[in-house]
A and B are shown apart, each in its own frame.
Chain A
Amino acid sequence: DTAVSQTPKYLVTQMGNDKSIKCEQNLGHDTMYWYKQDSKKFLKIMFSYNNKELIINETVPNRFSPKSPDKAHLNLHINSLELGDSAVYFCASSQAGGGETQYFGPGTRLLVL
């Protein structure tokens, strides 16, 4: 049973396109997150949602719009993709917000050409 799952695993697209990444967790957690991992493997938080409400927005361009239809899902939509958006995007979840251990999905490898 996959605890935190993401789709797609790989995404190759042209600059200027709009794309979405989906995340689902079956752990019953209240909080979900999106992270970006750059080519140097540095992990940085982008957003967190607690029970469908936005908690953290880390100065991410407004081309990135998260959406949480319910507390088990957190999707990430990206408009007008740019070359610099190429990275691995990880979804994570935790029992509650903030000080809790986070569990990560397998990642979505986005390549913008």
Chain B
Amino acid sequence: GQQLNQSPQSMFIQEGEDVSMNCTSSSIFNTWLWYKQDPGEGPVLLIALYKAGELTSNGRLTAQFGITRKDSFLNISASIPSDVGIYFCAGIIQGAQKLVFGQGTRLTINP
């Protein structure tokens, strides 16, 4: 069954606004990954997190691995039109060998 809860499911924002989305679980994770999927394409890795408390940036994107190891967030600052797409969190549960995905956050930007 679904082991990751990602929210919000969709966001409608104005260009220039900051965006925040998160994933939570009742399980402990060893790794958190954030992907972006553009229409007609495969998910592309944005940020990878490997340690509890880790805060990592990639340009205007910042993600953190929660201290409890059960959550992660992704922030996008000063959104631009090309940020439109579906953002997925994904994680590897402690002791497991597979990646589980959140339901995705669909980001729409009004110019």
- What is A's interface to B at a CB cutoff of 8 Å? 4, 40-45, 48, 55-56, 58, 90, 92, 97-99, 101-107
- Secondary structure of the B contact surface, majority rule: strand
- B103 contact set on A, CB distance < 8 A: 40-42
Task: Count residues of chain B with CB under 8 A from any CB of chain A.
Answer: 25
* Contact A101–B33 (Cβ < 8 Å): yes
CA distance A55 to B98 in the complex (A): 10
CB proximity of A2 to chain B, nearest CB, Å: 11
- A101 contact set on B, CB distance < 8 A: 31, 33, 45, 48
- 20 new A-B contacts at CB < 8 Å, known A42-B103, A92-B42, A106-B42: A41-B37, A41-B86, A41-B103, A42-B101, A43-B43, A43-B101, A44-B101, A48-B97, A56-B97, A56-B98, A90-B43, A98-B92, A98-B98, A99-B30, A99-B31, A101-B33, A102-B33, A105-B42, A107-B41, A107-B42
